[in-house]
C-alpha cells in the first residue's frame, strides 16, 4: 500500500477497471490501483482488485487499516497466505 501522493515505480501499470487490472496482471505487470476516499468503497474495491491481480493499492491514511484487513482476507481466500486466526468449532 502506498499513500495518495507517493510516486509509482517506473515499471508499474495503473489500472482503473477490473478488466484492465486482470489483463495487466495476466501479462505479469505490477498493477497499481487508486482506491476511493470513502472507507466502505475502498475496502470493497481493494478486495475486488486484489482478486483480479492488483498488487499495489494507493489509499488514504484513514482507510489504510481497513484496506489492509480486506487485502489480508482476500489473500487467505486465494490461498496465498494462512488465515490470521484459525478456530475449530465442534457442534
How far is 36 from 70, CA to CA, in rounded Å? 14
Q: For residues 58 and 34, is the Cβ–Cβ distance under 8 A?
A: yes
Please give the torsion angle defined by the CA atoms of residues 60, 65, 68 and 69, in that order, rounded to the nearest 10 degrees: -140
**Residues 6, 24: Cα–Cα separation, whole Å:** 21
Res 43: pLDDT: 96
Closest-CA residue to 35 (of 48, 53, 51): 48
Q: What percent of the chain has pLDDT over 90?
A: 77
| pLDDT for position 51 | 95
**pTM for the structure as a whole:** 0.84
Q: Are 48 and 21 in contact (CB under 8 A)?
A: no
Sites in the chain below the pLDDT cut of 70: 90-91
pLDDT of amino acid 58: 95
pLDDT of residue 59: 94
Amino acid at each position: 500500500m502506498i499513500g495518495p501522493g507517493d510516486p509509482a515505480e517506473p515499471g508499474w501499470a495503473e489500472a482503473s477497471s477490473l478488466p484492465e487490472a486482470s489483463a495487466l496482471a495476466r501479462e505479469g505487470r505490477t498493477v497499481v490501483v487508486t482506491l476511493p476516499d470513502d472507507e466502505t468503497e475502498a475496502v470493497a474495491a481493494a478486495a475486488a482488485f486484489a482478486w483480479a491481480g492488483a498488487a499495489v493499492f494507493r489509499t488514504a491514511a484513514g482507510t489504510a487499516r481497513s484496506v489492509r484487513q480486506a487485502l489480508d482476507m482476500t489473500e487467505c481466500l486465494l490461498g496465498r497466505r494462512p488465515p490470521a486466526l484459525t478456530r475449530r468449532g465442534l457442534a
